[in-house]
Amino acid sequence: TAKLAVGQPKHLLFEVQPGSDASALWKVAVRIVCTKINKEDGMVEASRIMNLYQFIQLYKDITSQAAEVLAADGSMECSSGQLSSAASCQASMWMGRVKQLTEEEECCICMDGKADLILPCAHSFCQKCIDK
């Protein structure tokens, strides 16, 4: 998000976790590491691990936000006390979305356990329901 976060002190870096994409069932096993980095000193401020489904949801959110920023011609001026679209493209905001995506996903069968397994069809369930 470095280009999208121009003028912001932080940006996000996405990387595939080493070794997580090595199996034939990589769509289920792959993990993406999302890291918030301070642009000034290069220090890592926060890091989260996402599965493929969570990353795709975040990617759609970020690209949608980027389209809004580009449509506004990159204008960073505020009008009537509201933040411009560009000002709202902050790494902290996106890191909050990553946290939300990784914490809120519950199993749609039992509605009890965390949906930690993603099938090749992109549906996710908890281990207990998959075992049944």
Residue 70 tokens read as: 């580009």
pLDDT at 4: 66
Give mean pLDDT, residues 82-111.
Answer: 64
Residue 131 burial class via C-beta count within 10 angstroms: exposed 0-12, middle 13-18, buried 19 and up = exposed
Where are the domains positioned within the chain? 10-105
pLDDT of 85 above 60: no
Q: Does the structure show a pLDDT above 50 at 125?
A: yes
28 contacts: CB under 8 Å, gap ≥ 6? 52, 117, 118, 119, 120
pTM of the predicted model over 0.75? no
120 CB neighbour count, 10 Å cutoff: 9
